[in-house]
Structure 1
Amino acid sequence: MQTSVKPAALPAKKLLPFILVSFGFTWLCWLPLLLNKQFAAGMPVLPGQFYLGSFGPLLGTLISLRLPGGGGIATWSKTAFSLAFPKKWLAIAAGLPLAYGAVAVLAHTLITGSMPDMHRFGLTSDLPPQFNIWMTSGIWMLTFGIGEESGWRGYLLPALHKRYSLFTSALLVALIWMAWHLPAFWFNESYLGMGFGIIGWAISLTYGSVVLAWICAGSRWSILPVIVWHGIFDLLTASDQAAEIMAMVCSMLVILHGVLLMRTLGRRRSQPPKL
């Protein structure tokens, strides 16, 4: 008699270590920054400590992979950092945020009557002033690119997709991703004073998760293209000059793109482990 095999429920104990380590490491790194900003605590901090916190999801992934039944780091890395994916996805991953940026520059010019200062484009007070745009983009990709995407799209998304559709998995990743950012709202200049803008930020992050899930799945679960997308997008939206108009326009375009992808991702049903 032929019997059907139902997708196994995703055990909470499998993802709990990942979440605890990812949040714990990042929040410990950011705690001194928060205390110094809010209470003038005078706690010592390392240069680039904000960026150091970005490696929480990567650390959470590595710890989870080392646990019994975790699959192993070597097996995971062969997929997560594989170059065996259609190279059009690398072009898509780089081209999309650059297209967002071009539209944002045009919008900035039309609204303010002048183009952004291209000599300061992409630079941020979070990094030394001598950093140029190439150095800054490299830092974003090496930290929040690799550090975050190793966890969110490299581990968490495919783990959730074993039970849920790709769209639902992307939404669940977005919820966890949002919560991970919470301490930054009390010390980072890009988040401070956001006010009701946090609603737009949350919507943008949600649909950004949808766009990145689409790219990651198209790249056969290699995270290299999404690292590129994430790094370029952060360069465009987290720089000092991107405040308000440029960041808002880029976010609106991500939301629009994510909405257009909803049905496509919804059709990609769960992929339970092969038995």
Structure 2
Amino acid sequence: MPTSAKPSVWSSAKLVPFLIVSFGFTWLCWLPLLLNKQFAAGLPVLPGQFYLGSFGPLIGTLCCLILPGGDGFTAWFKTAFSFSFPKKWLVLSAGLPLAYGAAAVLVHTLVTGKAPDLHSFGLTSDLPPQFNLWTTSLVWMLTFGIGEESGWRGYLLPALHKRYSLNTSALLVALIWMAWHLPAFWFNESYLGMGPGVIGWAISLTYGSVVLAWICSGSRWSIIPVIVWHGIFDLLTASDQAAEVMAMVCSMLVILHGILLMRILGRRHSRHTKPPGM
């Protein structure tokens, strides 16, 4: 890492509060779910408490922006939720995960000998059974989409990128993102059943962070396209029927895409992707 006489543009004085609040809110929401699953604690939980925990990174961001000495909520909001970006990025953010899904459906059909049941496509036991494809998609985007991306790509990534390359920043975000998920491995069925597959999950998340960094920087640091990508990808990989073939195929395609992007982005000069002042 380069050394300089200039102070860090995003020191631990900002990083630590962001991480404490982001992790603390999420893990407190998930703690009763973990205790009930592992120890039959019988603690009361709210409907959708798993999804409530997704707002930790958003809460961490708001605390850093609004509290005394914060960076300014208005400027952040105008950038993070701006629609003034090339609309090709919105098409890409929806088209890429849908392309992953189409390939996954094809592989699922070849491997199992039958196509996935489209009537139950995207549904998960984490949500009420009356939810359909569209309502489930909306839930993913409004919870883990907005909740996570407001922090990871809306605040943390551009802040890190003021000091590091886009690739390095994306990898640092991936490490934090992985650690944030840890409690889910002791109560959420999608994570409990991973076994050795957790290695593939970690690799996929790492390269997914690269893909999302590419989309976010291309979208002039608006997180709207990455919210769309995140919501659709979660719909494809976190549904009950995706537990085997489909999630694996989608993850492999993200890894391949991320590897390609790291090669491309590594050849670009960082000044073309620097975020605006925060």
Instruction: Give the alignment's TM-score, normalised by structure 2.
Output: 0.94
- Please give the residue correspondences for 1:105-116 in structure 2 after superposition, counting only pairs within 5 Å: 105-116=105-116
| Residue aligned with 1:119, SS | helix
Number of residue pairs matched? 270
Q: Which amino acid aligns with 1:157?
A: L
| Residue aligned with 1:196, SS | helix
The 3 A distance-change label for structure 1 pair 143 and 70 is same
Quick one: distance in 1 between partners of 2:12 and 2:263? 28
Other-structure match for 1:170 = 170
Q: Does structure 2 conserve the Cα–Cα contact (< 8 Å) formed by 1:207 and 1:254? A: yes
- The 4+ residue runs of structure 1 with deviation greater than 6 A are none
Instruction: Give the alignment's TM-score, normalised by structure 1.
Output: 0.95
Other-structure match for 2:46 = 46
Quick one: distance in 2 between partners of 1:94 and 1:230? 9
Give % identity.
81
Q: Does structure 2 conserve the Cα–Cα contact (< 8 Å) formed by 1:97 and 1:233? A: yes
Q: Which amino acid aligns with 2:135?
A: M
| Residue 6 (structure 1) shift | 6.4
Q: What runs of 5+ residues in structure 2 fail to find an aligned partner? A: none
Q: What runs of 5+ residues in structure 1 fail to find an aligned partner? A: none
Quick one: distance in 2 between partners of 1:272 and 1:233? 25
| Residue 182 (structure 1) shift | 0.1
Quick one: distance in 1 between partners of 2:201 and 2:103? 19
The 3 A distance-change label for structure 1 pair 102 and 273 is closer
Q: Does structure 1 conserve the Cα–Cα contact (< 8 Å) formed by 2:17 and 2:64? A: yes
Quick one: distance in 2 between partners of 1:7 and 1:134? 49
Quick one: distance in 2 between partners of 1:269 and 1:176? 22
CA displacement, residues 52-95 of structure 1 (integer Å, 9 cap, x when unaligned): 00000000000011244432111100000000000000000000
Quick one: distance in 2 between partners of 1:238 and 1:130? 17
| Residue 134 (structure 1) shift | 0.3
Q: Does structure 2 conserve the Cα–Cα contact (< 8 Å) formed by 1:7 and 1:272? A: no
C-alpha RMSD of matched pairs (Å):
1.4
Other-structure match for 2:84 = 84
The 3 A distance-change label for structure 1 pair 36 and 260 is same
| Residue 15 (structure 1) shift | 1.0
